[in-house]
Amino acid sequence: MPSEVPRRRSQFTDEKIDEYAGAHSTGPDHLQVELQRVTKEKTGDAAGMQIGDDQAVLMEMLVRAMGARRAVEIGTFTGYSALAVARGLGPEGRLICCDVSEEWTAIARQAWERAGVADRIELRLGPGIETLRAMPEGEQFDFAFIDADKVGYAAYYEEVLARLRAGGLILLDNMLQGGRVLDDSAQDESTNAIRALNSALATDERVKVVLLPIGDGVSVVQKL
């Protein structure tokens, strides 16, 4: 049974259905709840960038089920998603986390140490696109999570896909932009970038994709 009440971020599901789903899903453990608390305390309104518990459970399960051992994350914030991925990878797995904030990832490092997964995670500070392009070309990842600046998503996707094994998965967060992707009057850079990427993914013959309306929309992409 879950040790705490799940913290979900669904914006598109009936409230009662969402509550029921949360009550019948695995909830966060005490380490995850503590990371949520510390994130809220130290980052304020920015804490909204942290993924929901349902996303974390889904990611951990997917990574474990596919037997992934090599993963990369673009956009780490305070480490909640990385904790989920690292747990799914198991002791033999390795996760590379790319982020630009030393302050926020310091919170992540402490959480990973408390959870006993720090030895599975390598944090690389700097612009994500530069970090990716500095990596060797060719297949080297089983799983990837993209949750950084939305304008950069298309470039991150291409760099990750080129380094992903056949059958590997890429998860992309915030693919519904609070529903703004459906609002023609929403013409900000982030929304336009995500609209364009959603269209590109749906017709990309290199992959299969399903856009799930959990959280703020999560696209699950599998390389063929």
Q: Is the pTM of this model over 0.85?
A: yes
Taking only the tens place, the pLDDT of each residue in 15-47 is 889 889 989 999 999 999 999 999 999 999 999
What pLDDT is stored for residue 210 in this prediction? 98
Using the predicted structure, report yes or no on whether residue 158 has a pLDDT greater than 90.
Answer: yes
Name the nearest CA neighbour of 215 among 53, 81, 23, 29.
53
> 168-188 pLDDT, tens per residue?
999 999 999 999 999 999 999
- Lowest-pLDDT range of 6-10, 68-72, 101-105, 194-198: 6-10
Question: How far, in Å, CA of 219 to CA of 145, rounded?
Answer: 10
Q: 204 and 157 in contact (C-beta within 8 Å)?
A: no
The helix/strand/coil state of 166 is: strand
149: CB partners within 8 A, 6+ apart: 75, 190
| 60-117 pLDDT per residue, tens | 999 999 999 999 999 999 999 999 999 999 999 999 999 999 999 999 999 999 999 9
Residue 41 neighbours by CB under 8 Å, 6+ apart = none
Integer-rounded Cα radius of gyration of the chain: 17
pLDDT of 3 strictly over 70: no
Q: What is the pLDDT of residue 10?
A: 76
Q: Which CATH homologous superfamily contains domain 15-223?
A: Vaccinia Virus protein VP39 (3.40.50.150)
| pLDDT for 168 | 98
The neighbour count for residue 122, using CB atoms within 10 Å, is 12
Q: How many CB atoms lie within 10 A of CB 28?
A: 22
Residue 18 CA to residue 21 CA, distance in Å, equals: 5
SS3 113: helix
pLDDT > 90 fraction of the chain, expressed in percent and rounded: 89
- Which helix (H) or strand (E) segment holds residue 156: the answer is helix 153-161
Quick one: pLDDT band at residue 154, thresholds 50, 70, 90? Answer: very high
pLDDT of 15: 86
